[in-house]
Amino acid sequence: MIWKRHPIIKNSKEIEILRRANGILMEILFTIKEEVKPGKCTYEFEEMALELCEKKKVIPAFKGYRGYPYALCVSVNEEIVHGMPRRDKVLKEGDIVSFDFGVIYEGYVGDAAITVGVGTISSIAERLLKTTEEALYLAIEKARIGNKIGDISYAIQSRAEREGFSVIRDFVGHGVGRSLHEPPEIPNYGKPGRGPKLEAGMVLAIEPMVAVGSHEVKILEDGWTAVTKDGSLSAHFEHSVAITPSGPLILSSL
Ligand code: MF3
Ligand code: CO
């Protein structure tokens, strides 16, 4: 099958649609976040996501994507990404849970992720969340015309490693637009000044995944859920960001 390629440079009209797609996505994500508490199973959030997509007239972008069966990815503790919602996976106090979500609005894809604590979490978990989110914002700061993808990658890696944590290498950020995954790839590790040049009109899904222990990954028998091989905690934050003449524009903000 030949996949239709989409131009990686978007005009201001397209960026406006992507901003709306991501805005609706974030409304849903924060409604879900409000419901995080001990005793909830991860499938309840899938049900919420589906319901809210219907209400807000957007299409879940992940459901059916390369055979992924759900609207939402819900990854708990050592799960890094692509955790499948489950009735028998129940949240408990001290867990950290990441929600990765995508919607299609007027033919354009919004993509973002957050990680939140369940009740009171350990100080190491707290530090992991703070570090991963900070890495994302430091990376966004590099999403400027004339910079390179490597500048984004390096910002993420250096922030995570300064804390003694490691960045996951098996998954990357990406361009996003009419398709969920467009060029260029954005590794979460790399060297400044390397890789493709950033241009006005690029829209990038920047998504650091950070683990307390080693960066090695294992995929569970369900074929999707990616976990840390050493069982250490992992966090994930993602924003869709447009590169504009006036600097980085976070599309996935409320
Ligand atoms: N948000 C994730 C990404 O950016 C992906 C979801 S993969 C899917 O790559 F298969 F679940 F859709
Ligand atoms: Co993404």
The atom number, within ligand 1, closest to the CA of 207 reads: 4
Q: Which domain holds residue 129?
A: 12-250
Residue 197 belongs to a domain: yes
Residue 183 belongs to a domain: yes
Residue 36 belongs to a domain: yes
Q: How confident is the model at residue 3 (pLDDT cuts 50, 70, 90)?
A: low
CB-side neighbour CA atoms (13 Å) of 94: 3
Residue 131 belongs to a domain: yes
CA 74 to chain centre: 11
Residue 3 belongs to a domain: no
13-30 pLDDT, tens digit per residue, is: 999 999 999 999 999 999
Residue 42 belongs to a domain: yes
Residue 7 belongs to a domain: no
Neighbours of ion ligand 2 (CB under 5 A): 111, 205
For residue 92, give the CATH number of its domain.
3.90.230.10
> How many domains is the chain built from?
1
159-209 pLDDT, tens digit per residue, is: 999 999 999 999 999 999 999 999 999 999 999 999 999 999 999 999 999
- Residue position matching structure tokens 């001290």: 94
Can you tell me the distance from the alpha carbon of 60 to that of 105, in angstroms, rounded to the nearest whole number?
9
Residue 5 belongs to a domain: no
The atom number, within ligand 1, closest to the CA of 101 reads: 1
CA distances from 191 to 50, 157, 173, 194 (A): 40, 9, 16, 6
**Ligand 1 centroid – CA 29 distance (Å):** 15
